[in-house]
Amino acid sequence: MEDSAIREGFENLRPGADYDGLHQAALCRAKADWLVGINATRLFSVLYRRTLNIGRVMSPTLALIVQREAEIEAFQPEPFFTVALELPGFTAVGARMKDKTAAKELQTACRGGSAVVKQAQRKEKSEKPPALYDLTTLQRDANRLLGFTAQQTLDYLQNLYEKKLCTYPRTDSRYLTSDMAEGLPVLVNLTANAMPFRKGIAIVCNPEAVINDKKVTDHHAVIPTRNLQGADLSGLPAGEKAVLELVAARLLCAVAEPYCYEETSVTVECAGTEFAVKGRTVKHPGWRKLDAAYHAGLKNAPEPEGGPEEKTLPELSEGQSLPVSNASVKEGKTSPPKHFTEDTLLSAMENAGKEDMPDTAERKGLGTPATRAGILEKLASTGFLERKKSKKTVQLMPSRDARSLITVLPEQLQSPLLTAEWEYRLGEIERGELSPEEFLSGIYAMLRELAATYQVVKGTEYLFSPPREAVGRCPRCGGDVTESQKGFFCQSETCRFAIWKDSKWWSAKKKQPTKAIVAALLKDGRARLTGCYSEKTGKTYDADVLLEDTGEYVNFKLDFGQRKGGS
């Protein structure tokens, strides 16, 4: 933000009371998120005997990933066939056909014949430069082009912000304010001079392409700062430098001239069937020249997005007859949906449930630019989300427990509709049309109903983790005793029998109960221990350990029998 805008803001301060509604709405959102998270997490963790983190944003995000995986697994590829005609100067392709025999027959009918031009159109088209970066679009491109996770990109950008090389990172705007227009050409020029990829390319600055006060709320788009001038960028860590170059490239592209081209669409007819082809001739590269120069400096990056490469078609006129030099049949298969990457998942989160949210809603989609990276990291750290490297991308896969959780979770907790409903009512609070108490009372009622009516889904006893191998029978109730990380426990819900691995009795002897030892204790009431440590002598000894269960406490006793000498 420029100094003039700050001064203007102080000169036109509004009463704090004007923002009471905004404050109440934000407070209600925070309270409701906490209430849903802590109550639903406890409810499902207790019912399914495993820590299951539930959240208004986290759970619908996980549902998106699980749903995509289900779509991929259910997908059945279908073969299709296309007939291609080799014509003077270009190849025209027909529509997809399911029947191979019909495709072969069409190939035979076209081979050696002629095609008649039914339509030949040329249109002048232009493509506007891309908008500046907000945090989410920056994270998406950094994932696609640089392989960074959303959290890594945010961390690098935060460091650049603290070094005063980039503006505030956590923004949802892709535009600048009008007070920045005057100084923008200077910023663009010094940014261009600091970036090696733009050498030899003329720089243009069209401020009107990126200035829009109505689309800037709290913070404007992410751009470099004037501190680039004279800064030693070679000393930056590799990740920070890569993100800075990405932000700089977007600024230079956003204010550049449009990409202009001529598109040619041709339709020909042969053997009663239409075949089509499109061509493109670049008239003015505009911003795409800068974009291509930036991409050329990246390693293993995908090609720039944006339509076909230049392909010039010959001059044709309707009714013209063209000889068919060859006709071929190409076989293909329909493709399943693609696994989510952080790029595509961030896009899905940003757009989830938008159609159900009011136009006046302050926030749309799942999460905010500032929270989405943290949501993905929490899903990964809790074991619900797995990152799997595949060729040039890292795919996001749901774990077994993630699938299980979405299976048992009520629709209201895994659907973006809950967020849509909240945002509508929070908007009413902001405008003074709904009291915070009324909103929160609805949250309380929803959670009470959930706790009172939800029942464990039948047949899901072992849904979240495979059944553990029984070490032996419980001496109290006869149930299975299984091993976990901290000890051996009876699996009966009403039984408290436990042998802890880190109990003082075992620790004093520098021993820990193993599966074999516990199995012997449960079967015979005693087990042989070797190499026990004596706190009195500092030596080791061998003995039998006896299990003595009072029904309330589990005790152990040593039986030396014929004791052998220590070592």
Distance of alpha carbon 145 from alpha carbon 148, whole angstroms: 8
pLDDT at residue 563 in the model: 47
Report which residue type is found at 487.
Answer: G
Residue ranges of the chain with per-residue pLDDT less than 70: 1-5, 301-309, 354-364, 461-462, 465-467, 562-567
Report which residue type is found at 442.
Answer: G
Long-range residue pairs from 528-535, CB within 8 A, at least 24 positions apart, any chain: 529/558, 532/558, 533/508, 533/509, 534/566, 535/508
pLDDT at residue 567 in the model: 40
Distance of alpha carbon 162 from alpha carbon 159, whole angstroms: 5
**Domain chopping of the chain, boundaries:** 3-74+339-453, 79-128+259-333, 135-254, 470-559
Which alpha helices (H) appear in 396-503, and where do they start and end? Answer: 400-408, 411-414, 417-430, 436-453
Task: List beta partners, residue 526.
Answer: 546
pLDDT at residue 322 in the model: 95
Helix, strand, coil in percent for the chain, rounding step 5 = 40, 20, 35
Distance of alpha carbon 291 from alpha carbon 249, whole angstroms: 7
Q: Do the Cβ atoms of 423 and 361 come closer than 8 Å?
A: yes
Predicted TM-score (pTM) of this structure: 0.76
Phi and psi based region of residue 507 (left: phi greater than 0; alpha: psi -120 to 50; beta: remaining): alpha
pLDDT at residue 465 in the model: 63
State the CATH architecture for 79-128+259-333: Distorted Sandwich (2.70)
Q: Do the Cβ atoms of 45 and 51 come closer than 8 Å?
A: yes
CA contacts within 13 A on the Cβ side of 195: 31
User: 444 Cβ partners below 8 Å, 6+ apart?
Assistant: 35
Alpha-carbon separation of residue 548 from 491, 499, 507, 554, 562 (angstroms): 20, 11, 18, 6, 21
Terminal-to-terminal C-alpha distance of the chain = 76
Catalytic sites, residue numbers: 168
Q: Do the Cβ atoms of 140 and 347 come closer than 8 Å?
A: yes
Q: Do the Cβ atoms of 334 and 87 come closer than 8 Å?
A: no
Report which residue type is found at 117.
Answer: V
pLDDT at residue 310 in the model: 78
Distance of alpha carbon 516 from alpha carbon 483, whole angstroms: 11
Distance of alpha carbon 276 from alpha carbon 274, whole angstroms: 7
Topology (CATH) of 3-74+339-453: Topoisomerase I; domain 2 (1.10.460)
User: 179 Cβ partners below 8 Å, 6+ apart?
Assistant: 1, 2, 4, 5, 8
Furthest C-alpha separation in the chain: 110
Superfamily grouping for domain 135-254: Topoisomerase I, domain 4 (1.10.290.10)
Ranges assigned E (strand) in 129-201: none
Question: Which candidate, 296, 289, 279, places its Cα nearest to that of 259?
Answer: 289
